[in-house]
Structures are given as C-alpha cells and as structure tokens.
Amino acid sequence: MKLRMLASLLVPGLLVIGHPLWSISIQSAPRYWTETETETLWRVRYSNEDYGYLVRLAAGTIGHATHSPNPNHGFLVPLPEVGRELPASTDETRFVWVDASYNATDYSSLSRIASEHIRTVDGQWPKARVVKGLTRLGGLTAIEFKTEHPSPKGAVVVEEQAIALRSGIVYTVGLRTAKPNRSSDEAEFRKIENGFKLLALNNRAVK
C-alpha cells in the first residue's frame, strides 16, 4: 500500500521535473530558409540533402532557390546586391550560382564532362577565350574554366565555373559578370566556392 502511494506521488513529480529537461534536450533544428510567393530564400547556409552538399553563406548574403514543390538543385546570388530579397534570375547580368544535377552526358570522367561544358560554350560563342585549370571543391578535385565572350550588346561577359563529380552527380559553382566588375564579383564567387561542403548521400534525389 505504501509503495503504491509513493509511486503515485513520484510519477507526477517526474513528469513535472522531466518536462523542462526534455524541452531543453530536444530542440528543433534551426531553419535557414523562408519562402516568398515565388522563391525560397536561404540565409547563413544552404543545405541540399538530396544531392549531398551544403554551402555556408557569408553574413548578409541571401541565396535564391526555387519555390516548393519545384525541383531543388541549387541557388543563385545576385550581384552586387548579395543581400537582396527581391526575386533574382539568370536573366541578370551579374550573379553567382550553384547547381547539383545528375550527369546527363555520355561521359563518366570529370575531364570529359568539363570538356563537354567548354564545347557548349564554344558552340554558343565561337570566339570565346577559354582558360582551364584544376582546383578543389568541397574536398573534391574540380576543373575550373574561365571564358570571355562578347554579349549581344557588345560588352565583354566573363564566366567562371568550377565543376566536380561524385557518384554520378555533377556539382557546379559558377559566376557570370561583366569584365569591369570581374574583380569584386570574383571575390563573391570565391566566398561561395570556399563555403561549399559535402554531405553524406543518405537521401538520393530522383533522376
């Protein structure tokens, strides 16, 4: 009888004492994104578990990504207004972009995939000047190439891309800018490139 009374007193006490401890130990993970009517905006870090990577964003930088339920491959940062909340797109003159997609080419090596990218540029701009080299992206060996070509309006467009390959996924960090803005915009490109980190491929995106 005494044991039953003791248990009836202790159990409510444990519930009362245990509740704040539970709320402290089990906290919801921070959410780095918000949705507008047309986009998903990322701050502090962009994370993509489907394709196994994240990108740490500098303070004040906002990444513009697709709105759910559209496919989520990467994001774009408009330049020079890296903290802009208004919609951004590839129709703009200056921006940094990040993408992860399954390899859609017929080639399995990084070198051949990069060559295909460069061939595409050559097809669009036969007189483009291309410089190619090696770099690192999230610990992976990456091929980086830079091109300069005229725009329809006559200005010189500068593009840089770093491309890496892992488990059939092609990771790309790119920059598009105008030649007079190359120095400042390349600095933003490097911040994004250096913030690129790999995640475990636990969840695979549907091809």
What's the pLDDT tens digit per position in 139-189?
999 999 999 988 877 789 999 999 999 999 999 999 999 999 999 999 999
Structural domain includes residue 28: no
**pLDDT attached to residue 125:** 75
Structural domain includes residue 13: no
Q: Which of 196, 129, 202, 206 is nearest to 164 (CA)?
A: 196
Residue 80: asked if its preceding bond is cis (omega within 30°), the reply is: yes
**pLDDT attached to residue 3:** 37
State the Cα–Cα distance between residues 13 and 130, nearest whole angstrom: 72
- Amino acid (1-letter code) at residue 13: G
Q: Which portions of the chain are predicted below pLDDT 70?
A: 1-28, 127, 203-207
Structural domain includes residue 43: yes
What are the backbone dihedrals phi and psi of residue 186, each rounded to the nearest 5 degrees, phi first? Answer: -65, -30
**pLDDT attached to residue 19:** 45
**pLDDT attached to residue 2:** 42
Structural domain includes residue 50: yes
**pLDDT attached to residue 86:** 97
- Amino acid (1-letter code) at residue 135: T
Structural domain includes residue 3: no
Which domain CATH number covers 97?
Answer: 3.40.1000.10
Structural domain includes residue 94: yes
**pLDDT attached to residue 198:** 96
Question: What is the total count of domains within the chain?
Answer: 1
**pLDDT attached to residue 33:** 96
State the Cα–Cα distance between residues 175 and 186, nearest whole angstrom: 7
State the Cα–Cα distance between residues 117 and 105, nearest whole angstrom: 10
Structural domain includes residue 8: no
Structural domain includes residue 189: yes
User: What residue has token string 């097809």?
Assistant: 123
**pLDDT attached to residue 157:** 92
Structural domain boundaries, residue 132: 33-198
